[in-house]
Amino acid sequence: MPRHDPIGTAAAAEIEAPAVAHARFSIGDVVRHRLFDFRGVIFDVDPVFSNTDEWYEAIPESARPTKDQPFYHLLAENMESSYIAYVSQQNLVADDSDEPIDHPAISGLFTGYADGRYALRREHRH
């Protein structure tokens, strides 16, 4: 007796989710922007773009990253200030300076710095 396929093979193929890039970096990793002169420590990761359209459209079209990649929340610093940045995976590289990040929010999220990365405080782990 033939098996009944309630959805149908063609319909099931249409339901497949698009491929999403895997995150190359983890919470606590120290990274550097590949185009701009700043670095930071990752404190959150979005599997795909999850900011406002207004923020996205403010990026010049020639430099605008695709939305279907991980985006990272950073406690960032440059020579002038500390701030929070939201950066696409394609624009980040590992920071190999072995220098800690100087950001006032570090101690609230992380316990310490060793071997080029920060340890997330126990109360922030899920």
Best CA proximity match to 67, nearest among 86, 92, 50, 91 = 50
Burial class, 96, CB count within 10 angstroms (exposed 0-12 / middle 13-18 / buried 19+) = exposed
DSSP designation for 23? P
CATH of the domain at 33: 2.30.30.390
Over residues 65-83, the mean pLDDT reads: 97
Best CA proximity match to 74, nearest among 97, 91, 52, 56 = 91
| Domain contains 93 | yes
Report residue 28 as tokens: 């606590």
pLDDT over threshold 80, residue 103: yes
Q: What is the pLDDT of residues 26-56, one digit of tens each?
A: 999 999 999 999 999 999 999 999 999 999 9
Q: What is the pLDDT of residues 54-69, one digit of tens each?
A: 999 999 998 899 999 9
Q: How far apart are CA 78 and CA 76, in angstroms?
A: 7
Domain that holds residue 60: 21-124
pLDDT over threshold 60, residue 110: yes
